[in-house]
């Protein structure tokens, strides 16, 4: 898919079919995430890939308030921030956000769907991810992405707002 088309048509997907995801496609999503820009090329990310049904259900129950989308998802990927790998201290969240957006766009380009579930700075979700996925104390869970084939495809939105654009100086 053309890059601009992918960016302009991507939407968050919160309902998934039962269709399995090929291991190669999951790997492509991870490769896209890891190709993101990062401060000083630090790449301070780690990924936990979950495909076990029981573990996905526990994420639904404990990390996202019983949200059905993890029960439907065929996989989930937790992006973790590994501060020890930051190229510049304090830039890791921005780096992980770049990886996260690459991940979402790659999913869309492959016909998969996902949605960003905020974890970092949401203490109960951080605790649930740590417990269910056995994270070491040295990394921080950043954001969780359920993945599957969309059961419903939201329509593209056009959000360009000329009023948010300030030319040369703030107007
Ligand atoms: C930092 C961030 C945190 C988000 N957290 C959640 C979340 O916890 N749960 C959820 O359902 N969606 C979450 N979203 C998805 C947003 O709700 C969604 O991107 C927004 O409503 C725009 O819709 P779109 O993604 O379909 O364009 C998050 C998105 C971002 C960027």
CA of 52 to the centre of ligand 1 (A): 24
Beta bridge partners of 46: 80
Q: Which domain holds residue 73?
A: 3-152
Q: Report pLDDT digits (tens) over 68-101.
A: 888 899 999 999 999 999 999 999 999 999 999 9
CA of 168 to the centre of ligand 1 (A): 31
The reply to whether 163 falls in a domain is no
CA of 11, closest atom in ligand 1: 26
Provide Rg for the chain, Cα atoms.
17
The model's confidence at residue 113, banded by pLDDT at 50, 70 and 90, is very high
The reply to whether 170 falls in a domain is no
The reply to whether 162 falls in a domain is no
Beta carbons of 59 and 71 less than 8 angstroms apart:
no
The reply to whether 115 falls in a domain is yes
CA of 54 to the centre of ligand 1 (A): 25
C-alpha 47/C-alpha 89 separation (Å) is 20
The reply to whether 48 falls in a domain is yes
Instruction: At 92, list the tokens.
Output: 């890791």
The reply to whether 112 falls in a domain is yes
Can you give the pLDDT at residue 65? 78
Q: Report pLDDT digits (tens) over 129-169.
A: 999 999 999 999 999 999 999 998 899 999 999 999 999 99
Can you give the pLDDT at residue 60? 86
C-alpha 67/C-alpha 116 separation (Å) is 13
**Which residues approach ligand 1 with their CB closer than 6 A?**
11-12, 115-118, 154
Instruction: At 111, list the tokens.
Output: 């016909």
CA of 88 to the centre of ligand 1 (A): 27
Looking at every residue in the chain, the average pLDDT score rounds to: 96
The reply to whether 144 falls in a domain is yes
The pTM for the full model equals: 0.97
Beta carbons of 77 and 146 less than 8 angstroms apart:
no
Number of domains in the chain: 1
Can you give the pLDDT at residue 171? 87
Closest residue CA from atom 8 of ligand 1: 117
The CATH code of the domain that includes 29 is: 3.40.109.10
The reply to whether 158 falls in a domain is no
Can you give the pLDDT at residue 56? 95
Q: Is the pLDDT of residue 115 over 90?
A: yes
Q: Report pLDDT digits (tens) over 38-71.
A: 999 999 999 999 999 999 999 988 887 777 888 8
């Amino acid at each position: 898919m053309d890059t601009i088309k992918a960016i302009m048509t991507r939407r968050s997907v919160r309902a998934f079919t039962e269709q399995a995801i090929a291991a190669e496609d999951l790997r492509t999503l991870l490769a896209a995430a890891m190709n993101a820009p990062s401060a000083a090329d630090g790449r301070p990310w780690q990924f936990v890939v979950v495909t076990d049904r029981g573990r996905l259900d526990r994420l639904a129950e404990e990390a996202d308030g019983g949200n059905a989308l993890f029960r439907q998802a065929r996989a989930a990927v937790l992006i973790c921030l590994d501060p020890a790998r930051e190229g510049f201290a304090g830039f890791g969240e921005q780096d992980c956000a770049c990886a996260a957006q690459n991940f979402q766009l790659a999913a869309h380009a492959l016909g998969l769907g996902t949605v960003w579930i905020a974890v970092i700075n949401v203490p109960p979700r951080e605790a649930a991810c740590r417990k269910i996925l056995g994270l070491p104390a040295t990394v921080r869970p950043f954001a969780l992405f359920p993945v599957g084939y969309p059961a419903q495809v939201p329509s593209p939105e056009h959000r360009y707002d000329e009023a948010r654009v300030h030319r040369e100086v703030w107007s």
